[in-house]
Amino acid sequence: MKIAFFGTGDFSANILKSLVTDFKGDVDIKLVVSQPDKPVWRKKILEKTPVKIVAEENNIECLQPNKLRENKEFFEKLKFLDLDFIVVVAYGKIVPKEVLEAPKYGCINIHWSILPKYRWASPIQEAIKAGDKKTGLTIMYMSEGMDEGDILAIEEVKIWENDKTPDLFKKFEEIWPKLLVDTLKWVLSWKIKGEKQDDLKASYCSKIKKEDWEVSFENETWEQIYNKFRAYYPWPGIYTYFKDKKLNLEDVELIDYNWEKNIWEVDRLSKKEIGIVCKDNKILLLKQVKLEWKKSMDILSFVNGNKDFLEYKFL
């Protein structure tokens, strides 16, 4: 199967790497398309995208057009390659109609939810934050509407109570290359055809905003707070305020503990355990924190330098 692969970041690069190494006999990657390299650090040195690095390591041509729409030279390149499929994984740009129609059998996209639930950005974080017990990978035809294409295949994945965002990505990495290749084969052999989504059942998630990271002990339950931590770990993390200074809760754990103290108060549970008292015998055990303008530190070191943190009440 002759394909072009569109992607940019680490997760896209992992899929490309698997296609190249594990499925070389099934797919012939004629072209890789990635976003342009971006300047980083103070010296503004251009840094290659992870997908471009994988492409170069495997001697695959990589194009990085600034724009796709009305890019005649790029369209002609796609036509010349006589592609069976274009596979798009977290590319980061809108793919115009001319590109969608370039391959013989369609433009295929991988989405990290069970569509039509959680269309658009951050579907993994949204599922964890909502306390869902399962999510999944959806492979679909791309359309001009964002995540609205006909569904080709879905594989469900369980979300355990302590799973964080990296845990789900790891689970997805174990299944997505084979699921993708199998789906392409099924399309070619007419074993499956796209199934329309029910737009009435669609839900949406937006890009993660700064206000999403903040924890409100007064307005959120212990479950909502812990789910938010799991969803936004390790980036962007969650934070609250300690004496008007931003306090990042970098690592926490939720435990059952029969502790009859004031709700949302910081208490020492043992010599090495410090946590925030929640409702229903739950304790948000603090492990690593970072106060605004200070370095990250373990909770015991933080308390040693901030004695008034003990018995502090978050409101």
The tokens for 151 are: 């569904």
- The contacts of residue 284 (CB under 8 Å, 6+ apart) are 222, 225, 226, 252, 253, 254, 275, 276, 278
pLDDT tens, the chain, 315 aa long: 999 999 999 989 999 999 999 998 899 999 999 999 988 766 678 899 999 999 999 999 999 999 999 999 999 999 999 999 999 998 988 899 999 999 999 999 999 999 999 999 899 999 999 999 999 999 999 998 889 999 999 999 999 999 999 999 999 988 988 999 999 999 999 899 999 999 999 999 988 888 889 999 888 999 999 999 999 999 999 999 999 999 999 999 999 888 777 889 999 999 999 999 988 888 999 999 999 999 999 999 999 999 999 999 987
Rounded CA gap, 144 and 127, in Å?
25
Rounded CA gap, 85 and 5, in Å?
9
- Global pTM reads 0.90
User: Contact, 111 vs 150, CB < 8 A?
Assistant: no
Rounded CA gap, 265 and 226, in Å?
16
Question: Residue 252 corresponds to which amino acid?
Answer: V
Rounded CA gap, 166 and 238, in Å?
16
- The owner of tokens 């007064």 is 218
The tokens for 241 are: 């305020």
